[in-house]
Amino acid sequence: MITVFGSGAFGTALAISLAGNGPVCLWARDAAHADDMRKTRENKARLPGAALPAHVHVTAQMPEMPQEGIGLLAVPTQQLRSFLETHGDALRECHLVACCKGVETGTGLGPTRIIAERVPSAMPAILTGPSFAHDIARGMPTALTLACADVPAGKALQQALTTRNLRLYRTTDTIGAELGGALKNVVAIACGVTMGAGLGESARAAVMTRGYAEMFRMAAALGAEPDTLAGLSGFGDLALTCTSDQSRNYRFGQSLGRNEPFDTSITVEGAATAKAVLEQAKKMEIDMPITDAVVALIDGKLRVGQAMDMLLSRPLKEE
């Protein structure tokens, strides 16, 4: 049985899709939330309108994980370390697949490296790419990247996690896959700011393109393969997240651009990632002006007009 740890929208959607292959365990941190999902067969709080199939078993108890069992870690990146510190012993002989996007504040680590650090006996992987929970839950066709450094393990995971509507492409470049998924959220915030401030679609296209250049510079400096950033986990996810109101990061950016409050109960991975990435970029002397502007806007150190002036006044150069 595959276990999905985390009953947010994305974890629930994965459980619904994987239930087409067989039994799936969906773990919820909150017992009351788990009980409500069992009774209603729906995650009303995070994914309303999507019915939980009979094959989805919901629990708040830590399940017994078999040797080489598969655990999908659908918890926010900033909470991943604490989750593994609490439950790592039960997961020590598993294949652990991160289903979150971001860079940990303070360490600059991505999800697979957090897994390797906290549960060194487990086989880490990451599932990422252009996807919205509601699309997956509704059975809409979705293509994702599965990154695992171990080729045989990656092939086995690819077979186990492919469903009727989920097509998985495999790579061994875990660094590129996790950085693509993390950095595109920062660019999505910037694109949301652009549209929220009424600067137009041409400006959004420019921000998206130059943001992709920043993603490439950072990923290349950290050892990622260029082709990975051009694939689903990089360009593909960037295109989706920077153009749709379904993206939490994009909506957060729109709120910044309009100078409106944003619902603090909604996880915006790109906000924490932007700060972690900028700190790392400064240490490595990597030029990331859009990321710099996003952090300044989040911290209230710049207004949108000032940020735009800062970007437009940079020295002219070749593309």
Active site residues: 184
The answer to whether 221 and 284 are in contact (CB under 8 A) is yes
How large is the C-alpha radius of gyration of the chain?
Answer: 19
Contacts of 22 (CB under 8 A, 6+ apart): 1, 2, 55
Torsion of CA 231, 232, 237, 238, to 10 degrees: 10
The answer to whether 93 and 118 are in contact (CB under 8 A) is no
Q: HEC string of 80-107?
A: HHHHHHHHHHHHCCCEEEECCCCCCCCC
The answer to whether 111 and 100 are in contact (CB under 8 A) is yes
Question: Other CB atoms closer than 10 Å to residue 298's CB: what's the count?
Answer: 20
Question: For the chain, how long is the longest CA-to-CA vector?
Answer: 61
